[in-house]
Amino acid sequence: MAQIGLIGLGTMGAALALNIADKGFSIAVFNRTGSVTTDFHAGAGALAPRITPTQTLADFVAAITPPRAIILMVPAGPVVDDQIAALRPLLGKDDLIIDAGNAEFHDTERRAKDAEGAGVPFIGMGVSGGEEGARHGPSIMGGGPRAAWDRVSPILSAIAAQYDGTPCATWMGPGGAGHFVKTVHNGIEYADMQMIAEVYGIMRDGLAMPATAIAPVFDGWNKGVLRSYLIEISAAVSAATDPVTGKAMLDVILDAAGQKGTGRWTAIEAQHLAAPVPVIEAAVAARNVSSRLHARVAGQGVYRAAPQAMAAGALTVADLEGALIAGKILCYAQGFDMLNAASKTFGWGVPLPEVARVWRAGCIIRSDMLNDMAAALTEDVSRNLMLAPAFVTHLQRTHTALRRVVAAAVLAGHAVPALSAGLAWFDMMRTARGTANMIQAQRDFFGAHGFERVDGQPGKHGPWGAHG
């Protein structure tokens, strides 16, 4: 009998099943299209004896030792509901369903409530790391009943990525907490990628560097403060050559980016929570703008204003590195602040230092900096990261580079929406007296909404005549 089951042998599900078998666990697998299961098992090589392929749901359930744990790795959305509905009648009271797809956390909350109502356990689990991570060690963010998590955590910890011997698999809280943390991970992923794309654009168009010259720059950055998976792969994709044309691979890829929606969900939830994440919002918007290809081509025709080359010495590669360091810190400061807001609003008690810890390895946004973030959040969990001494030092050293880069980019017609959103947020967050007094006066003028005074004097309306 198998120790665990998995439904859905697409790219991620197949990789996760092999990972589980590789770590010494026996696993039953099922896929809606039976031939996929047969082929998967036939291709499992030395791991095949630990894998039980099944062709019906009933056989699948019967192949797993009760109380069962069943991982769903099927497309997010109605397919998950259909799969749960098909499974539940075959399961016992203590059998646990784990949705490991990229679910929208409201769906997970609903499924968790349904499961609670029926007295059966359900876990919503974020899994990051792409196919490679799923196969050899992803980062895992779980949510649901603590007792259910504890039951499966030995298997999940064994298959997760390890950072200095610590498994990157943690319980983030009840209900949809795990999928929420994964959603914010993806929002940050969008932002990290967008900021890298922005400095790449400055190197390509502003400093006239070919992709072959850009690759070693990313490589160099990957040995310093910015060391991370996304910088590493940016070096790799910059160095690659197109086998068809012999040109740099980057130069033959259309600049219109797709998305499956998790970044967008982060931006939407941030608005609901009134938690500002402008760098992520800018990154989501930039993807949407990128896909307006025809309008952009027409726009360039009308305004004849492609990004211009920058004067020699206007910016250095070191400026770009500094800008990226500052932008990254500001983006994560926003992301963790949003997680904190969500955790309070939903009463989840998300362990923020643990979030930083499980993101240190296995996931797409893994980076050295996350280790320092974990330390800063351990010192003071509710302090904004931009105020943590380690990051104050970084920001004091790099924020002028961010300003120089944004200013030079804007003057030369380069779009840097994420970097400039980070800078604007930074400037607002270090300004004790901003300009919302004007907003308050306007609101009071047209709607008698009232305001607070700075001097403690009586009165909360202005002398606006008929409106006062």
Residue numbers at the binding site for ligand 6PG (CB under 6 A): 102, 128-130, 186, 189, 258-260, 262-263, 363-364
Identified catalytic residue from 104, 109, 189, 321: 189
Pick the closer one to ligand 6PG by CB: 71 or 91: 71
Pick the closer one to ligand 6PG by CB: 83 or 128: 128
Tokens linked to 419 = 């970097």
Q: How far is the CB of 52 from ligand 6PG (least distance, A)?
A: 27
How many Cβ atoms sit within 10 Å of the Cβ of residue 102? 20
Q: How far is the CB of 363 from ligand 6PG (least distance, A)?
A: 5
Name the packing angle between helices 278-290 and 177-201 (round to 10°): 60
How many Cβ atoms sit within 10 Å of the Cβ of residue 55? 13
Identified catalytic residue from 109, 113, 131, 182: 182
The residue type found at 271 is Q
Pick the closer one to ligand 6PG by CB: 60 or 336: 336
Element (H, E) at 201: helix 177-201
Pick the closer one to ligand 6PG by CB: 140 or 386: 140
Q: How far is the CB of 437 from ligand 6PG (least distance, A)?
A: 39
Q: How far is the CB of 321 from ligand 6PG (least distance, A)?
A: 24
The residue type found at 351 is P
Pick the closer one to ligand 6PG by CB: 50 or 135: 135
189 in active site: yes
The residue type found at 425 is W
Angle 411-413-418 (CA atoms, 0-180°, nearest 5)?
95
How many Cβ atoms sit within 10 Å of the Cβ of residue 119? 8
182 in active site: yes
263/303 Cα distance (integer angstroms)? 31
Q: How far is the CB of 219 from ligand 6PG (least distance, A)?
A: 23
Tokens linked to 280 = 């992520």
Pairing state of beta strands 69-72 and 4-7?
Answer: parallel
407/337 Cα distance (integer angstroms)? 27
Angle 85-150-90 (CA atoms, 0-180°, nearest 5)?
25
Shortest Cβ contact with ligand 6PG: which residue? 128
Q: Which of the residues are catalytic? A: 182, 189
